[in-house]
Amino acid sequence: MNILLFGPPGAGKGTQSAFLVEKHGMVHLSTGDLFRSAIKNSTPLGLEAKKYSEKGQLVPDSITIGLVEEKIKDLKKTSFILDGFPRTVPQAEALETLLKTNQLKLDKAIFLVTPNDMLMSRLTGRRVCEDCGTTYHIETMPPGPGNTCTNCGGNRVIQRKDDFPEVIRTRLEAYEKNTAPLKEYYKAKGKLVEVKGTGEVKEVYERLKSAIS
């Protein structure tokens, strides 16, 4: 089963992908993670992506599609989750071509339905381990004492630069303008499945499990 997991920033895409990877052995391709890793390593791609992502803007399609083109070949042997790509209709069209070229198929586009008023508090409260990527929330899933990571033991659990209110507002606007239209796009293709993204993390996971079974 190959799926796209999409929804607004803070819908829980990364959190749920981690479950799907752990429990179903799926491969997770997240353009957000790829950009953050490139930024951390100051690669040419990272330096370019940083100009946009830290302001909450989308990285241009040409750069993002080029990045996915390089990675998609690695998805041949196992079920995959696309998280954060596609994020625009031109990216979705490019994805179709890339999948066809690589004899791959997207089975479902799963939209995580999460009300807007929940997104700001989920994002401002999010903390992430810089070393292993584990995600926390200061209220619902706090890190260890002194902002330590309970997964890898590191002490670099931080707030993402794009998780401050001003930048979050820009990201939400970019989502409404560019990504929300993907719902209609995948509905027309008969691939859209809506899953409620509210409630306990594990409840959402149970719903997702039913959606992909």
Give the catalytic positions in this structure. Answer: 13, 87, 126, 160, 171
Q: Which is nearer to ligand AP5, 77 or 166 (CB)?
A: 166
How crowded is residue 23: how many other Cβ atoms within 10 Å of its Cβ? 10
Q: Which is nearer to ligand AP5, 140 or 210 (CB)?
A: 140
Residue number with the smallest Cβ distance to ligand AP5: 32
Least distance from C-beta 38 to ligand AP5, angstroms? 10
Q: Which is nearer to ligand AP5, 173 or 184 (CB)?
A: 173
Produce one character per residue of 39-72: b if its CB has 16 or more CB atoms within 10 Å, e if not.
beeeeebbebbbebbeebbbbebeebbebbeeeb
Binding site for ligand AP5 (CB under 6 A): 9-15, 31-32, 35, 52-53, 56-59, 64, 84-85, 87, 91, 122-123, 125-126, 135, 137, 140-141, 162, 171, 201, 204
Strand bridging mode 80-83 / 126-129: unpaired
Least distance from C-beta 173 to ligand AP5, angstroms? 11
Produce one character per residue of 151-186: b if its CB has 16 or more CB atoms within 10 Å, e if not.
beebeebeebebbeeebbeebbebbeebbeebbebb
Q: Helices 13-24 and 201-212 meet at what angle, rounded to 10?
A: 60
Q: Which is nearer to ligand AP5, 108 or 171 (CB)?
A: 171
The kind and range of the H/E element at 193 are strand 192-196
Least distance from C-beta 171 to ligand AP5, angstroms? 5
Least distance from C-beta 147 to ligand AP5, angstroms? 14
